[in-house]
């Protein structure tokens, strides 16, 4: 059997992979603050259920090092200094082939094969959730870069733009003013709470914004503007005219999407990206795990 594993800052998901790379039956667990590998290993053992595992595709929040098989996701504190994930998985399933990709790259791979980017040779994919990841398809293949981190759009700097006021706070990556500090779910919640909002989650924020709460609306508008600016900038750099937006926080609805599309249109003015299209991911939150499933099948990335 082949397994797919998706590791994010909020949850881990795993399942058996079908021949087309899809993962119909998924088991999820919250990502813990401690004993991260023990939790991950237990999840994989449950999904394998004693059967022989031939291959595992892994999508993990970044940064990653696909050459060395090490991950250092900034949203998983226990692994932030580096964890030998590939070595650990291969020790759990001796003889199994293991393929690792950054979560955004896996999502881009899935949307290119099965989703909103099907048949599109050049596209940008974003995963907007606990953090913000991304992946790039150029010429029909995933652009991985030197270490597998190409497309890590969450750390494109958006500070200093008038439509994203105050977007200069320190980022967990060590820099400041990154897109992730403004437009991830937890970051938008954190900013709203500094403005007097009393909710606690991205879901609460989206619901209150749709209900007309002014602070929640401002928080989502701020996040949307930052995303639109980042997408337009990345499109100009990469020469792509499609961006696919997935992840739980991307489903916040019009209060996020309307300012996002407005900002992207205002900044995507060059002729070769004037037709830039930004669409929701068709695979929803299953995209990253589907990408991991494709990796387990040795899909050429």
| Residues 108-141 pLDDT 10s | 999 999 999 998 999 999 999 888 989 999 998 9
Mean pLDDT, the chain, integer = 92
- Three-state secondary-structure class, residue 22: coil
**In which band, very low, low, confident or very high, does the pLDDT at 166 lie, cut at 50, 70 and 90?**
low
Q: Which residue has the higher pLDDT, 231 or 75?
A: 231
Asked whether the predicted pLDDT for residue 155 surpasses 60, the reply is yes
Which domains occur in the chain, in start order?
Answer: 2-105+286-296 (3.30.420.40), 118-281 (3.30.420.40)
Other C-beta atoms lying within 10 Å of the C-beta of residue 239: 11
The residue written with tokens 């749709």 in the block is: 210
pLDDT confidence of residue 168: 74
pLDDT confidence of residue 160: 61
Measuring CA to CA, which residue among 238, 239, 257 is closest to residue 249? 257
* Tens of pLDDT, residues 195-239: 999 999 999 999 999 999 999 999 999 999 999 999 999 999 999
Enter the pTM of the model: 0.88
The secondary element (H helix, E strand) that includes residue 137 is strand 132-138
260 close to 225: Cβ distance less than 8 angstroms: yes
- Which are the contacts of 53, defined by CB distance < 8 A and separation ≥ 6? 1, 2, 3, 93, 96
On the 0-12 / 13-18 / 19+ scale of CB atoms within 10 A, 157 is middle
pLDDT confidence of residue 65: 96
pLDDT confidence of residue 174: 87
Mean pLDDT of 264-291: 92
116 close to 279: Cβ distance less than 8 angstroms: yes
pLDDT confidence of residue 9: 86
- Three-state secondary-structure class, residue 12: strand
pLDDT confidence of residue 301: 54
Mean pLDDT of 45-70: 95
């Amino acid at each position: 059997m082949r397994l797919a594993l998706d590791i994010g800052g909020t949850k881990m998901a795993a399942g058996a992979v079908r021949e087309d790379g899809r993962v119909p039956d998924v088991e999820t667990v919250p990502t813990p603050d401690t004993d991260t590998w023990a939790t991950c290993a237990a999840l994989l053992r449950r999904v394998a259920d004693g059967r022989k595992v031939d291959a595992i595709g892994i999508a993990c929040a970044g940064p990653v090092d696909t050459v060395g098989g090490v991950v250092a996701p900034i949203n998983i504190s226990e692994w932030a200094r580096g964890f030998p994930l590939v070595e650990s998985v291969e020790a759990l399933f001796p003889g199994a082939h293991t393929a690792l990709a950054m979560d955004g790259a896996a999502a881009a791979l899935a949307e290119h094969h099965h989703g909103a980017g099907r048949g599109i040779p050049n596209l940008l994919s974003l995963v907007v959730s606990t953090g913000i990841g991304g992946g790039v398809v150029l010429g029909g293949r995933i652009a991985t870069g030197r270490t597998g981190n190409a497309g890590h759009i969450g750390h494109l700097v958006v500070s200093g733009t008038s439509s994203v006021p105050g977007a200069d706070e320190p980022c967990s990556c060590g820099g400041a003013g990154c897109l992730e500090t403004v437009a991830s779910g937890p970051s938008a919640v954190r900013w709203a709470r500094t403005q007097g909002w009393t909710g606690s989650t991205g879901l609460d924020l989206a619901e209150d914004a749709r209900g007309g709460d002014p602070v929640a609306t401002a928080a989502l508008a701020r996040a949307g503007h930052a995303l639109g600016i980042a997408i337009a900038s990345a499109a100009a750099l990469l020469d792509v005219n499609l961006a696919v937006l997935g992840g739980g926080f991307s489903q916040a609805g019009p209060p996020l999407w309307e300012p996002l599309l407005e900002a992207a249109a205002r900044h995507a003015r060059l002729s070769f990206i004037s037709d830039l299209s930004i669409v929701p991911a068709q695979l929803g939150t299953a995209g990253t795990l589907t990408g991991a499933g494709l990796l387990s099948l040795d899909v050429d990335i």
